[in-house]
Chains A and B, each alone.
Chain A
């Protein structure tokens, strides 16, 4: 879920300027901190029109940035949008306040499937409301893959984890997410081990698998593959569903004859959720509740989905979602695929250190 930082920064700067110029009463101001490139800005404008609350909208492009700010405290944000295992960790530390659900009547529209999964991280759904969710999977250049390997198993993690297959695409360019939280569970799952394993011996096995395919990987990066796929510079990327779908849209827009495909691995993939939560020290929790309620209006969250091409956690919004998106099995997967999607939980500090160290070793050979 890491996107182009630049456009995000520019966007936030723009919105901040707009907000500051009209700001006089602090209680009429709402500070949101969200992933970059992740909202239709007209939603924010409409919210301000409806409620009179000015929105200062800042963005981050990595979960670590958000988590570090939250752990340091006093961030000044009213709403932040952490991803599942980071959400859990911050809940454990006590970063967030419980939601006053009486102020969010639109919660009645939420989708049980997603709410239940979210409860893995937020027991009792007391703290977070899902914004968007998606999968990690296989992004690929349809033509180039076909030219190199006509019978390529594009819907299988063999594309990355089978040395015989991935070696064929080495020169064409293979990217992996620079995120051990996404790649190591995928490797564990491929090996038939539990994807959420915390056993250092099993994690080491995933490391061995990754070491074997390391020579065929051009780069570990969490956003460059969007442009790479769209331009046709790379063949294959293990990435986030929405980012690959965005790459596909960019290629169509550029009319450069590049066709980008996305597949959820048939072995199963990670289902991640970005959810809104209110920090305990939020200056304006009332406005935060009003915004969460506003964005969960079925037609509003549908507008957000139509813009970013991610699925949302609001069941009733589906009648407002563009048909092309709703019927796309890579965005709203059918029930049998949904069943195979796994979720993961945070590592304790010791396991986290093992994972980070292993990751550095895989990337740098040291």
Chain B
């Protein structure tokens, strides 16, 4: 009797533990997403809120059905009719891919160095990577304005050193956007890489050396393949938010920096067209779901 009690209590606890994250996802991801999908199927209107139909659940099922019949896919069709949208998606994709590559290029040696550092140093190094998070993301991007602007710190330093005679116009430009993204997302690459590299069995490298394998080859044949799960995790942690980035291109980018986040902003705030901007968001999510699924498959493989 006592035994069954304990096991049923155990399964109830397990159910609860599983339910909490699911509840979280339903409340904070699925429900808002469904609202966005619903608005994307509506028609823009001069009203409060600025679209129709605004579903009225108190009106009864019949009336609700009438409202649902008003839904339309026009907004999605509209997105295909103007080159602006797919060019924004492509431009965002390009910026996200290049930045992810740059972050990997910079983050890997840092993570490698950290994982190979003496044990008593590692915690300190890890702290140094996390430290910037103690300041708001927005403030850190603002700080880059101070560094990159024509009369900013970087130009002053280079002018003082005599490297340049005219201030460089780095900001505002797409180059500044790359700098901002690479800086902001570097920790998201370093942390998973460090986690995998630190666990790496060093005896494998010793064995390789004993068998006459030069260190560079050993790196490409042993270290890098074994760190792939970290590389993939890091790349997706950088790529996905970079794709939809708004703050960095808005603050550091020039007027000609085209990114889907900015296009969405203009659609929502300047045109006040909530339905079209919702359609832009839904398509963006669809574009991102593909790499997320690839990521999950890679993770499953790694787990096997």
Q: Which residues of A come within 8 Å of B, CB atoms?
A: 6, 62, 64-65, 67-68, 70-73, 89, 92-95, 178, 180, 217-221, 231, 233, 349, 352-353, 356-357, 359-361, 363-366
- Taking a contact as CB atoms closer than 8 A, the residue among B150, B151, B255 that contacts A178 in the complex is B255
A221 partner residues in chain B, CB cutoff 8 A: 255
B142 partner residues in chain A, CB cutoff 8 A: 6
- Can you list 10 residue pairs at the A/B interface with Cβ under 8 Å? A68-B272, A92-B46, A218-B169, A220-B255, A352-B272, A360-B84, A360-B263, A364-B255, A364-B256, A364-B258
B245 located at the interface, meaning its Cβ lies under 8 Å from any Cβ of chain A in the complex: no
Q: Which residues of B come within 8 Å of A, CB atoms?
A: 44, 46-50, 82-84, 87-88, 142, 150-151, 169, 172, 254-258, 263, 266-273
Give CA–CA (A218, B256) in the complex, Å.
10
Contact B150 A67 (CB under 8 A): no
Give CA–CA (A73, B83) in the complex, Å.
33
- Taking a contact as CB atoms closer than 8 A, the residue among A6, A220, A233, A352 that contacts B271 in the complex is A352
Q: 9 additional contacts, CB 8 Å, given A217-B255, A349-B46, A349-B272?
A: A72-B48, A73-B49, A218-B169, A219-B255, A221-B255, A349-B271, A364-B256, A366-B84, A366-B88
Contact A68 B46 (CB under 8 A): no
The 10 A-B residue pairs whose C-beta atoms are closest, nearest first, are A64-B269, A363-B255, A220-B255, A356-B270, A364-B256, A364-B258, A356-B271, A71-B50, A366-B87, A93-B48
Give CA–CA (A72, B39) in the complex, Å.
13
Contact B47 A93 (CB under 8 A): yes
Residue on B nearest A352 in the bound complex, by CB: B271
CB distance from A69 to the nearest CB of B (A): 11
A89 partner residues in chain B, CB cutoff 8 A: 46
CB distance from B250 to the nearest CB of A (A): 10
Give CA–CA (A70, B142) in the complex, Å.
28
Residue on A nearest B51 in the bound complex, by CB: A71
Give CA–CA (A36, B104) in the complex, Å.
40
Contact A68 B269 (CB under 8 A): yes
B87 partner residues in chain A, CB cutoff 8 A: 366
B272 partner residues in chain A, CB cutoff 8 A: 67-68, 71, 349, 352
Give CA–CA (A221, B142) in the complex, Å.
16
Interface of A is mostly: helix
Give CA–CA (A172, B212) in the complex, Å.
62
A93 partner residues in chain B, CB cutoff 8 A: 46-48, 50
CB distance from B252 to the nearest CB of A (A): 12
Contact B48 A219 (CB under 8 A): no
Give CA–CA (A353, B277) in the complex, Å.
12
Give CA–CA (A361, B83) in the complex, Å.
11
Interface centre among B84, B87, B272, B273 (most CB of A within 10 A): B272
- Taking a contact as CB atoms closer than 8 A, the residue among A94, A178, A357, A366 that contacts B258 in the complex is A366
Give CA–CA (A233, B151) in the complex, Å.
7
- Taking a contact as CB atoms closer than 8 A, the residue among B48, B83, B172 that contacts A71 in the complex is B48
Residue on A nearest B169 in the bound complex, by CB: A218
A352 partner residues in chain B, CB cutoff 8 A: 270-272
- Taking a contact as CB atoms closer than 8 A, the residue among A62, A218, A349, A359 that contacts B269 in the complex is A62
Contact B48 A95 (CB under 8 A): yes
User: A68-B272, A73-B49, A92-B46 are contacts. A219–B258 as well, Cβ < 8 Å?
Assistant: no
B50 partner residues in chain A, CB cutoff 8 A: 71, 93
Contact A64 B270 (CB under 8 A): yes
A349 partner residues in chain B, CB cutoff 8 A: 44, 46, 271-273
Interface centre among B48, B88, B269 (most CB of A within 10 A): B48
- Taking a contact as CB atoms closer than 8 A, the residue among B49, B83, B150 that contacts A233 in the complex is B150
B88 partner residues in chain A, CB cutoff 8 A: 366
CB distance from A127 to the nearest CB of B (A): 15
Contact B271 A68 (CB under 8 A): no
A233 partner residues in chain B, CB cutoff 8 A: 150-151
Contact B254 A219 (CB under 8 A): yes
Give CA–CA (A70, B48) in the complex, Å.
8
Contact A68 B268 (CB under 8 A): yes
- Taking a contact as CB atoms closer than 8 A, the residue among A231, A353, A357, A363 that contacts B256 in the complex is A363
Give CA–CA (A24, B128) in the complex, Å.
44
Give CA–CA (A67, B82) in the complex, Å.
26
Give CA–CA (A72, B49) in the complex, Å.
5
CB distance from A87 to the nearest CB of B (A): 14
Give CA–CA (A4, B47) in the complex, Å.
31
Contact B269 A219 (CB under 8 A): no
B169 partner residues in chain A, CB cutoff 8 A: 218
Residue on A nearest B270 in the bound complex, by CB: A356
Residue on A nearest B263 in the bound complex, by CB: A360
A364 partner residues in chain B, CB cutoff 8 A: 255-258
CB distance from B257 to the nearest CB of A (A): 8
B270 partner residues in chain A, CB cutoff 8 A: 64, 180, 352, 356, 359
Give CA–CA (A353, B276) in the complex, Å.
11
Give CA–CA (A217, B172) in the complex, Å.
12
CB distance from B255 to the nearest CB of A (A): 4
Give CA–CA (A92, B46) in the complex, Å.
8
B48 partner residues in chain A, CB cutoff 8 A: 70-73, 93-95
B256 partner residues in chain A, CB cutoff 8 A: 363-365
B49 partner residues in chain A, CB cutoff 8 A: 71-73
A217 partner residues in chain B, CB cutoff 8 A: 255
Give CA–CA (A356, B46) in the complex, Å.
17
Give CA–CA (A67, B44) in the complex, Å.
15
B266 partner residues in chain A, CB cutoff 8 A: 356, 360
Residue on A nearest B85 in the bound complex, by CB: A366
Give CA–CA (A365, B223) in the complex, Å.
45
